[in-house]
Every structure is written in structure tokens, then in C-alpha cells.
Amino acid sequence: MQITYLLKDLSKVADKILSITPKKTLLFYGPMGSGKTTLIKELAKRIGVTDVMSSPTFSIVNEYQLDQDKLFHFDCYRIASDEEAFDFGIEEYLDSGHWNLIEWPEKIKNILPEETTSLNIIINNNGSRTLTINN
């Protein structure tokens, strides 16, 4: 499925994503500045995160408590090897049954579980974004 949107449409896009994917591990692909973190923040809000979110660029993962669940937001941009991901316990997060929203998943492609939804964002010439969703 493809959706072309502007920033003002983000809440509708997030609702659409959540309505069509039964999976709790979402993989966000796209170039730097494509809006991965912005989309993740909107999805997290829709899922129930009430905390102010920040990009986990330096911490690699940020954890957010939901009413009866958790959400983990990963930024894997700086990960150089599978071993580095195992060192911070990524398999425990991925096997937890909680929400895992992962930016730059291509950096850990050998570790990713099979049950995921891929979201690929491209920037259009007019400033809009096109999101391709693969369940």
C-alpha cells in the first residue's frame, strides 16, 4: 500500500498504519531527513505514549511506558555490527512482545524477526512524502 502525504496529514497516516498492521515491530526505511522520527512520534502518540519523545540517536533505544504495554524506539544508524546490537540486548527487546519501532533497520537486517511491517518513506520533489507499507 502507498500513501502520499504532507506533514499536516500525519495523524491520518498514523491511524491508517495502525489500522492495517497487526504487527508490533515496525521497520522505518528512508533517507536522512525523510521524516522517520516524526512519523514514529505520531504513531507512538496514537498508541498511547504521553511522554515527550526524543530521537534515540545516541542512546540507540528509548523506552516508553504505556498503560499495559511498552514501546521501544530504536535508532540503529550508528550500529556497526550485529555484535554491537547483541551487546545492548536487542534480542530481548525484539522478543518482548512489546512495540518495537526501528529506524535504520538495514543496519541490523540479520537480526530482525520475520513478523514485521516495513515502512519505506521517500521525499517527493514537492516536499510531500510517499510511504510504502509492506506487511
Decide yes or no: CATH 3.40.50.300 for domain 2-134: yes
Instruction: Return the sign of the alpha-carbon dihedral for residues 22, 60, 65, 48.
Output: negative
C-alpha 19/C-alpha 38 separation (Å) is 19
Residues facing 130 on adjacent strands: 4, 122
pTM greater than the 0.85 cutoff = yes
- List pLDDT tens digits, range 37-51: 999 999 999 999 999
- List pLDDT tens digits, range 85-123: 999 999 999 999 999 999 999 999 999 999 999 999 999
Name the residue with cell 495523524.
11
Arithmetic mean of pLDDT, 21-31: 96
Instruction: Answer whether 90's CB lies under 8 Å from 111's CB.
Output: yes
Q: Which residues contact 108 (CB under 8 A, 6 or more apart)?
A: 76, 79, 82, 85, 90, 102
Domain ranges in the chain are 2-134
The pLDDT-based confidence of 52 (bands split at 50, 70, 90) is: confident
Q: Which is it for strands 70-75 and 129-134: parallel, antiparallel or unpaired? A: unpaired
Instruction: Answer whether 94's CB lies under 8 Å from 111's CB.
Output: yes
